[in-house]
Amino acid sequence: MTVISSPGDFRIAAQSRLPRFLFDYADGGAGSEATMRANVEDLARVGLCQRVMCDVADIDLSADLMGVQRPLPIALAPIGIAGMYRRRAEVQAARAATSAGIPFTLSTVGLCSLTEVRAGTAGPLWFQLYVIRDRGFMSDLIETAKEQGAEALVFTVDMPVPGSRHRDAHSGMSGPYAPLRRAMQAVGHPGWAWDVGVRGRPHRLGNLTPVLGEASGMDDYIGWLAANFDPSIAWKDIGWIRAAWKGPLIIKGILDPEDARAALDAGADAIVVSNHGGRQLDGASSTARALPAISDAVGGRLSILADSGIRSGTDVIRMLALGADGVLLGRAWLYAVAAGGEAGVAALIGLIEREMRVTMALTGVRSIGEIDRSILLDG
Catalytic residues: 276
Question: Is 340 in contact with 9 (CB distance < 8 Å)?
Answer: no
Residue 24, CA distances (Å) to 21, 156, 357 in order: 5, 22, 32
- 367 beta partners: 60
What is the helix, strand, coil percentage profile of the chain, to 5? Answer: 50, 15, 35
CA distance 311 to 270: 22
CA distance 13 to 8: 9
* Among 207, 202, 200, 203, residue whose Cα is nearest residue 127: 207
- 328 beta partners: 75
Q: Is the Cα dihedral 25, 17, 348, 249 positive or negative?
A: positive
CA distance 208 to 210: 5
Question: Is 233 in contact with 131 (CB distance < 8 Å)?
Answer: yes
CA distance 110 to 209: 11
**One-letter amino acid of 21:** F
Q: Which residues contact 250 (CB under 8 A, 6 or more apart)?
A: 66, 126, 152, 153, 154, 155, 268, 269, 270, 271, 272, 303, 305
Q: Is the Cα dihedral 367, 368, 369, 373 positive or negative?
A: positive
* Among 344, 337, 275, residue whose Cα is nearest residue 308: 275
